[in-house]
Structure 1
Amino acid sequence: MFDFTLSTSEEICAELGRRLRARRLMQEWSQLELAQRAGLSVGTIKNMEGKGQASLESFVQVVAALGLADDLGELFRIKMVSIAAMEQAEKANRQRAPRRSSK
């Protein structure tokens, strides 16, 4: 099993590329078919799968084309593991009120 916490960013990108390739193959799509469904070039798909290189926008387009967009919903969601974490999350959502105008 791949350990994201002990991996470099390059290793993580390569692993994500491999996983996207595996999902494409499970759906029995060629790289050309995925590229067309995602609105990208075949070269972009090859770079993503082979080298783990793509823009964030291209990555999201491929994820959506593969029907995996719901999986993105849990990324970076703040997990409430304690009351202190809940309080910190609440502070992160707060915004300053506009200044009162002095008359």
Structure 2
Amino acid sequence: MYSVNKTPNSVLQEISNKIRAIRKTYKYSQEELAKRSGVSLGSLKRFESTGKISLESLLRLMHVFGRLEEFDNILLPQKDMSEIEKLFSDDL
């Protein structure tokens, strides 16, 4: 199935690719990152190949890289757009 929009699987794979690139930038082997993060080596290998990982393990990996705060900006409350939408409606 092809889509212009992202899919859950494509996002998982993007995150996995980014974590792998960060790991390589730090020159960590998979074994070293597993030890530093407390994530099992098997889970890390599966993540890098399939993108599948628990949220807790992903957070542990991000913590090792000092990038845990990047999660602060996800799932923020949406702004109420109703007032702005009224400006463009024909119901004036």
TM-score by length of 1: 0.69
> What residue is the counterpart of 1:42 in the other structure?
41
CA distance in 1, matches of 2:78, 2:66: 25
After the TM superposition, which parts of structure 1 deviate over 4 Å for at least 4 consecutive aligned residues?
79-84
**Map of 1:20-99 to 2, 5 A cutoff?**
20-78=19-77, 80=79
Structure 2: segments with no counterpart, 5+ residues: 84-92
TM-superposition CA deviations, 1:54-87 (whole Å, max 9, x none): 1111111111112110111111123547585xxx
Larger-Rg structure: 1
CA distance in 1, matches of 2:65, 2:59: 10
TM-superposition CA deviations, 1:16-75 (whole Å, max 9, x none): 000000011111111111101110111111111111001111111111112110111111
CA distance in 2, matches of 1:83, 1:76: 19
- Identity score, percent: 28
The number of residues matched between the two structures is: 81
Q: What is the aligned-residue RMSD (CA, Å)?
A: 2.1
CA distance in 2, matches of 1:7, 1:82: 23
CA distance in 1, matches of 2:82, 2:32: 48
Structure 1: segments with no counterpart, 5+ residues: 85-103
CA distance in 2, matches of 1:83, 1:70: 30
CA distance in 2, matches of 1:20, 1:44: 13
The one-letter code matched in structure 2 to 1:50 is: S
